C-alpha cells in the first residue's frame, strides 16, 4: 500500500506543478504532459483499492497524519511544498475574482486596520486595543495591525523588523489572526496616512480603522498627540472608512475575563450606516460579552412623538433580527447654565492663550490656573501693580547683561503681553461654541444618568471641524461628552449602509 501511495503522490506532485506553472518545475522529458502524471496517479489509487480497500483507507489516514505532524513541527525541507503553491494559486484566483468595489450591504463585515502606538522600547503601549479587535472578529474578515516608526527608513529598518516581531508575538498571544504592517516615516501623521491609504490588496482592503483616544492630551506639553489624532480622523473620513475610537482602553476586558451580566448601551443620536447596531451584535458573539444585554437609547426633542419613535425603532430592530431593549430619552430645551458658559469661556481662553502666548510649560500651567482662579472669583479684580513688579524682577533676573535698550524692549514686550492677557480675561465666548458645549453637557448628563453602570457605551462620533483652528475645541467637546464613563467606544460610520433587514 505504501509503495503504491509513494508513486501516487509523486505523480500528484508532478501534475500539480505543471498545472500551477511554477517556475522551478522544469521536467527533462520533452514529451511530458500533466495527463500522464494524472493517469499514473489514478492507476496507483485504483490498484490500492482493488488490492484491499480498507487497508488503502488506513494507509491514507496514516499518510495524512504524518503530513500534518511534519507541517506542525515546521521541518525544513529542500523540496518545497506543493500545497503551499496550490494555496498561493487559489489566493491569487480569489483576489482577482473579488470585486474591488464596495461589497453588498448584507455581505459587509468589519475589515479592521488597528493602529498601535509604540513606546521608546518598541513595545505596544495599549495591547488591549488588540484584545478588543480579537473580540470583534467573531464576524471574521480581515485584520491588519499597523504602526509607524518615526525616522529614516535606511537607518531604522532594523527597528522596524524588531517592532514587527514584537507585534506578531502579541497578536499570537491575543489570538488575532491577521497581518502586521509597519511603516517608517519622517512624521507620524504622514506614516498613519500612508497606512490608511495603502494597506490591503485588491478587494481585501480594510473598511474600518480602530485606534485609541489620546489620554492626557490636556496636560501634555506636546500638542502633536491630539493633532495627530484629529489628522487621522480627517484622513479616515476622506477615505470613506468607518472609525472606532476606544476611550479608556486600559479598562476594557481581556479575553480571559467574562461578564456574567451587564449591558452594552448604544446611544443612537444620528443614523450613520447602522454601525452602532452591528457592533454590539458582533461583540456578543465573543464569550467575554455573550451574557451582556443590548440597550439602545435614542434622543427625542420636545416636538417629537416619543411613543411612536419607540415603536418604529423596536420594529426596525425586529426586522434586523437583533434582540435589544429600546428606550427613548426626552431632552427638553433648557436655558444655558452658568457651568456651560463658564466651561466654554475657559476652553476658549485656554486655546487663545496657548495660541498667542508662546509660553514655556511652567508658565503655561501657571497662566492657565490663573485664568481658572480668576473666573471662579468672577473676575473681581484686574492684574495689579504687585504682579508687574514681580514680573519686572523676574525679567531683570533673566537678563545677564543689563542695558537700557534691553530694559525698554522687555518693558514694551511685557506690557503688550499683559495687555493681551487682560483681553483674555475680559473676552466673551463664541455663541456657537456655547451652544455646542451646552449640547455636550446635557447629553453627557443624560448618558451618565442612564449608562453609568454599563459595561460598554457606544456613541456617535461627530466629525472634526472644517477650520483647523477649532480642533482643540473639538477635542474638548468630545471630552465633555464622554466624561464620567468607564468604557466608551466612539463610532463614526464610513457613509454607507452596513446592515440590512434582508437576509
The mean pLDDT of 229-244, rounded to a whole number, is 92
Q: Indicate whether 307 pLDDT > 50.
A: yes
The mean pLDDT of 347-354, rounded to a whole number, is 50
The mean pLDDT of 384-406, rounded to a whole number, is 41
Residues 149 and 285 reside in one and the same domain: yes
Residues 198 and 287 reside in one and the same domain: yes
The verdict on residue 497 lying in a domain is no
Residues 138 and 208 reside in one and the same domain: yes
Q: Which of the four pLDDT bands, split at 50, 70 and 90, describes residue 317?
A: confident
The verdict on residue 7 lying in a domain is yes
Contacts of 352 (CB under 8 A, 6+ apart): 424, 427
Range with the poorest average pLDDT among 16-20, 74-78, 303-307? 74-78
| Degrees to nearest 5, angle at CA 237 with 108 and 429 | 135
Q: Indicate whether 220 pLDDT > 90.
A: no
The mean pLDDT of 389-407, rounded to a whole number, is 41
Q: Return the pLDDT at 183.
A: 93
Range with the poorest average pLDDT among 87-96, 101-110, 166-175, 177-186? 101-110
Q: Which of the four pLDDT bands, split at 50, 70 and 90, describes residue 387?
A: very low
For the question of whether the overall pTM of this predicted structure is more than 0.75, the answer is no
The verdict on residue 502 lying in a domain is no
The mean pLDDT of 390-402, rounded to a whole number, is 40
Residues 373 and 248 reside in one and the same domain: no
The verdict on residue 473 lying in a domain is no
Residues 233 and 138 reside in one and the same domain: yes
Q: Return the pLDDT at 412.
A: 52
Q: Indicate whether 362 pLDDT > 90.
A: no
Rounded CA-CA distance 2/9 in Å is 10
Q: Return the pLDDT at 73.
A: 72
Of 390, 416, 432, which residue is a domain's last? 432
Helix (H, G, I), strand (E, B) or coil at 244: strand
Residues 210 and 356 reside in one and the same domain: no
CATH classification of the domain holding 248: 3.40.50.620
Q: Indicate whether 4 pLDDT > 70.
A: yes
Q: List phi, psi (to 5°) of 46.
A: -65, -45
The verdict on residue 449 lying in a domain is no
* 70-93 tens-digit pLDDT: 777 765 555 555 666 677 777 777
Q: Return the pLDDT at 98.
A: 74
The dihedral region occupied by 379, where left means phi > 0, alpha psi between -120 and 50, and beta the remainder, is: left
Question: How many residues are present in the chain?
Answer: 503
Q: Indicate whether 244 pLDDT > 80.
A: yes
The verdict on residue 121 lying in a domain is yes
Domain assignment of residue 216, given as a range: 107-263+280-292
Q: Half-sphere exposure of 276 toward its Cβ, with a 13 Å CA cutoff? A: 25
The verdict on residue 389 lying in a domain is yes
The mean pLDDT of 387-400, rounded to a whole number, is 40
Higher local confidence (pLDDT), 443 or 397: 443
Residues 75 and 211 reside in one and the same domain: no
Of 432, 458, 485, which residue is a domain's last? 432
Total domains in the chain come to: 3
Rounded CA-CA distance 280/295 in Å is 10
Higher local confidence (pLDDT), 181 or 409: 181
Residues 111 and 252 reside in one and the same domain: yes
Q: Return the pLDDT at 80.
A: 55
Tell me what the pLDDT averaged over the chain comes to.
Answer: 77
* 452-477 tens-digit pLDDT: 899 999 998 888 888 887 788 888 88
Looking at the chain, the whole-number percentage of residues with pLDDT higher than 90 is 25
The verdict on residue 258 lying in a domain is yes
Residues 135 and 9 reside in one and the same domain: no
Highest mean pLDDT of the ranges 26-35, 37-46, 65-74 = 37-46
Residues 256 and 116 reside in one and the same domain: yes
- CA proximity to 132, closest of 149, 148, 115: 115
Q: Return the pLDDT at 407.
A: 43
Looking at the chain, the whole-number percentage of residues with pLDDT higher than 70 is 71
Of 413, 432, 451, which residue is a domain's last? 432
Residues 45 and 150 reside in one and the same domain: no
Residues 87 and 144 reside in one and the same domain: no
Q: Indicate whether 446 pLDDT > 60.
A: yes
Amino acid at each position: 500500500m505504501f509503495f503504491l501511495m509513494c508513486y501516487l503522490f509523486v505523480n500528484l506532485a508532478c501534475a500539480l506543478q505543471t498545472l500551477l506553472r511554477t517556475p522551478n518545475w522544469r521536467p527533462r522529458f520533452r514529451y511530458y504532459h500533466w495527463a500522464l502524471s494524472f493517469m499514473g496517479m489514478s492507476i496507483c489509487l485504483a490498484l490500492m483499492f482493488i488490492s484491499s480497500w480498507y487497508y488503502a483507507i488506513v494507509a491514507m489516514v496514516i499518510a495524512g497524519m504524518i503530513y500534518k505532524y511534519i507541517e506542525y513541527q515546521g521541518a525544513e525541507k529542500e523540496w518545497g511544498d506543493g500545497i503551499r503553491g496550490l494555496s498561493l494559486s487559489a489566493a491569487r484566483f480569489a483576489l482577482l475574482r473579488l470585486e474591488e468595489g464596495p461589497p453588498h450591504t448584507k455581505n459587509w463585515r468589519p475589515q479592521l486596520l488597528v493602529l498601535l502606538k509604540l513606546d521608546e522600547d518598541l513595545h505596544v503601549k495599549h495591547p488591549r486595543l488588540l484584545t478588543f479587535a480579537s473580540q470583534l472578529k467573531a464576524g471574521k474578515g480581515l485584520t491588519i495591525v499597523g504602526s509607524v516608526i518615526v525616522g529614516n527608513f535606511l537607518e531604522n529598518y532594523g527597528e522596524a523588523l524588531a517592532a514587527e516581531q514584537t507585534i506578531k508575538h502579541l497578536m499570537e498571544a491575543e489570538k488575532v489572526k491577521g497581518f502586521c504592517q509597519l511603516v517608517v516615516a519622517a512624521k507620524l501623521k504622514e506614516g498613519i496616512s500612508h497606512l490608511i491609504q495603502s494597506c490591503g490588496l485588491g478587494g481585501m482592503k480594510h473598511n474600518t480603522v480602530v485606534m485609541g483616544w489620546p489620554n492626557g492630551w490636556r496636560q501634555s506639553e506636546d500638542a502633536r498627540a491630539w493633532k495627530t489624532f484629529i489628522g487621522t480622523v480627517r484622513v479616515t473620513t476622506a477615505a470613506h472608512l468607518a472609525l472606532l475610537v476606544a476611550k479608556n482602553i486600559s479598562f476594557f476586558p481581556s479575553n480571559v475575563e467574562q461578564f456574567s451580566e451587564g449591558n452594552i448601551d448604544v446611544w443612537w443620536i444620528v443614523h450613520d450606516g447602522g454601525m452602532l447596531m452591528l457592533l454590539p451584535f458582533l461583540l456578543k458573539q465573543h464569550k467575554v460579552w455573550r451574557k451582556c444585554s443590548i440597550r439602545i437609547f435614542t434622543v427625542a426633542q420636545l416636538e417629537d412623538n416619543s411613543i411612536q419613535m419607540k415603536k418604529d425603532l423596536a420594529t426596525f430592530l425586529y426586522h434586523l433580527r437583533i434582540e435589544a431593549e429600546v428606550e427613548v430619552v426626552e431632552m427638553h430645551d433648557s436655558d444655558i447654565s452658568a457651568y456651560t458658559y463658564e466651561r466654554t469661556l475657559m476652553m476658549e481662553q485656554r486655546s487663545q492663550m496657548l495660541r498667542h502666548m508662546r509660553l514655556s510649560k511652567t508658565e503655561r500651567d501657571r497662566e492657565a490656573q490663573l485664568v481658572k482662579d480668576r473666573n471662579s472669583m468672577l473676575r473681581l479684580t484686574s492684574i495689579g501693580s504687585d504682579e508687574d513688579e514681580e514680573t519686572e524682577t523676574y525679567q531683570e533676573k533673566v537678563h545677564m547683561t543689563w542695558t537700557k535698550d534691553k530694559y525698554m524692549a522687555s518693558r514694551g514686550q511685557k506690557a503688550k503681553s499683559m495687555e493681551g492677557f487682560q483681553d483674555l480675561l475680559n473676552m466673551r465666548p463664541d455663541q456657537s461654541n456655547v451652544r455646542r458645549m451646552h449640547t455636550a453637557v446635557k447629553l453627557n448628563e443624560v448618558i451618565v444618568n442612564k449608562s453609568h453602570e454599563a459595561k460598554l457605551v457606544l456613541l456617535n462620533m461627530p466629525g472634526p471641524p472644517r477650520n483647523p483652528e477649532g480642533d482643540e475645541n473639538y477635542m474638548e467637546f468630545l471630552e465633555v461628552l464622554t466624561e464620567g464613563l468607564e468604557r466608551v467606544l466612539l463610532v463614526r460610520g464610513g457613509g454607507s449602509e452596513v446592515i440590512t433587514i434582508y437576509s
